[in-house]
């Protein structure tokens, strides 16, 4: 069984985000699910794909903040 994990550097690059953004998302409870392995933060590819799928929208009027309360 081969499970691929990405660290925050590997995830931030293709999304064109700063590593700091991912750190802030973790602190706020936003972003993809993550794991801490021996003090390192890693993201499973399946959790990244699920997060990306959840971000799909049909229009700009859809509220993207419903999950965590209105903002």
b vs e for 32-46, b when ≥16 Cβ sit within 10 Å of the residue's Cβ?
bebeeeeeebbbbee
Total structural domains in the chain?
Answer: 1
CA proximity to 5, closest of 46, 49, 43, 48: 43
Beta bridge partners of 10: none
* Any domain includes 61: no
* Any domain includes 45: yes
* Any domain includes 11: yes
Per-residue pLDDT at 63: 67
Domain containing residue 18: 5-54
Per-residue pLDDT at 64: 56
- Compute mean pLDDT per 10 residues along the chain, 71 residues long, and list them: 85 95 96 94 95 89 57 38
* Any domain includes 63: no
């Amino acid at each position: 069984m081969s499970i691929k994990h990405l660290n925050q550097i590997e995830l931030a690059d293709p999304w064109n985000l700063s590593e700091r953004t991912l750190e802030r998302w973790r602190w706020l409870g936003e972003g993809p699910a993550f794991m801490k392995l021996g003090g390192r933060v890693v993201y499973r590819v399946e959790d990244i794909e699920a997060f990306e799928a959840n971000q799909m929208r049909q229009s700009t009027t859809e509220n993207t903040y419903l999950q965590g309360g209105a903002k």
